[in-house]
Amino acid sequence: MSHSMTGYGGATRSYGGYAVQFEIKSVNHRYAEVVLRLPREWTCYEDSLRRLVQTRIKRGRIDVFISKEHEESSALPLVLNRTVAEAYLRAAEELSELYGIDAAVSVKDLLSLPDVLTAPEPPSSEEDADTEWERVLSEGLEEAVSGLLGMREREGRHLVADLEQRLQRLEAIQAELVRLAPEVVNEYRSRLRSRLAELVEGSFDEQRFAMEVAVFADRSNIDEELIRLRSHLEQCHSLLQSVEPVGRKLDFLIQEMNRETNTIGSKANHLALVNLVVEMKAELEKIREQAANLE
């Protein structure tokens, strides 16, 4: 079943005294574009996390947000980073001397500054800690991606149902065009005969009349366009049931159906055919807008 390109997923993980939050959202895009936003100290994991997303999602702009914050209930005690705290105090004194402003910094103010309090990492080697963080990040992102794909699948089912209904309407219009096409020549023959009878007294050249009707029939023939249109509609139905991304293929078929419809419109010399062509073009535009949301 085809998936929508619009969706959202989230997940949380706890490790090392931190609560790690994952958010991922996707919107329409011609290709697969993954944009990661995560803390600077985790940029070393960026390539592996991007590949994880790309293996699951084939099309769309995917924004990934990963953040962390200290857990209030963490069993690991918070540690005062004296170096950072002293640097803040020296900066406050320097500002006071340079600009003559009050340099008083309360304990509350100091503790609210970034990195003054830190949570120690679990007791392990640096290499083990890096491996464990990569595992935590990968598992959390995997869960968020699964949530995103679930939403994209549900949205995709609604899109496919709507597109199927519109394709059925196009099939009905195509069938009506097939039915009306032979009547165009018959009506032209009757109108031309009546008109010539009014203009020419007595009999007129039947052979010349037959040739004129044959030329008109050849010029207004839309059998090939209707056959190709039917084929495109059948291919659209097959694509909508595929498990692979079909958005670009569907877009191509819609362009081809538009081209066939325009050709039918240029050949049509019949009010009923023209009205059907207008209706078909309106439905194709709605299908194009909906198909733009499919992966």
Q: What is the pLDDT of residue 208?
A: 63
Question: Quick one: 159 and 243 in the same domain?
Answer: yes
Question: Quick one: 168 and 250 in the same domain?
Answer: yes
pTM above 0.75, yes or no: no
Question: Quick one: 40 and 164 in the same domain?
Answer: no
**Pairing verdict, β 60-70 and 18-27:** antiparallel
164 or 78, which is more confident?
164
Look at residue 102 and tell me whether its pLDDT is greater than 70. Answer: yes
118 domain-assigned: no
Question: Quick one: 144 and 64 in the same domain?
Answer: yes
CATH number at residue 44: 3.30.230
Q: What is the mean pLDDT of the chain?
A: 83
Question: Quick one: 194 and 275 in the same domain?
Answer: yes
Look at residue 109 and tell me whether its pLDDT is greater than 90. Answer: no
Question: Quick one: 251 and 215 in the same domain?
Answer: yes
Beta bridge partners of 287: none
Sign of CA dihedral 143, 144, 145, 146: positive
% of the chain beyond a pLDDT of 90: 43
189 domain-assigned: yes
Question: Quick one: 141 and 174 in the same domain?
Answer: no
What's the CA gap between 129 and 121, in Å, rounded? 8
What's the CA gap between 58 and 73, in Å, rounded? 39
98 domain-assigned: yes
CA 179 to chain centre: 38
What's the CA gap between 164 and 232, in Å, rounded? 13
Domain of 84?
79-111
52 or 214, which is more confident?
52
Look at residue 46 and tell me whether its pLDDT is greater than 90. Answer: yes
Question: Quick one: 231 and 135 in the same domain?
Answer: no
190 or 33, which is more confident?
33
DSSP summary character for residue 4? B
Give the 3-state DSSP-derived string for 61-109, with helices as H, strands as E and coil as C: EEEEEEEEEECCCCCCCCEECHHHHHHHHHHHHHHHHHHCCCCCCCHHH
Question: Quick one: 183 and 224 in the same domain?
Answer: yes
Three-state DSSP class for 155? helix
Q: What is the pLDDT of residue 123?
A: 47
What stretch of H or E contains 190?
Answer: helix 126-199
117 domain-assigned: no
1 domain-assigned: no
Question: Quick one: 217 and 101 in the same domain?
Answer: no
Q: What is the pLDDT of residue 116?
A: 82
Write out the DSSP string of 240-295.
HT-SS--HHHHHHHHHHHHHHHHHHHHH--SHHHHHHHHHHHHHHHHHHHHHTTB-
Question: Quick one: 282 and 207 in the same domain?
Answer: yes
Look at residue 175 and tell me whether its pLDDT is greater than 80. Answer: yes
**Pairing verdict, β 7-15 and 18-27:** antiparallel
Question: Quick one: 239 and 284 in the same domain?
Answer: yes
21 domain-assigned: yes
Mean pLDDT of 136-144: 95
Mean pLDDT of 62-73: 86
Lowest mean per-residue pLDDT among 131-135, 142-146, 271-275, 283-287: 271-275
How many domains, the chain? 3
What's the CA gap between 255 and 285, in Å, rounded? 10
Q: What is the pLDDT of residue 184?
A: 67
Per-residue pLDDT of 211-246, as tens digits, reads: 665 655 556 677 888 899 999 999 999 998 887 888
2 domain-assigned: no
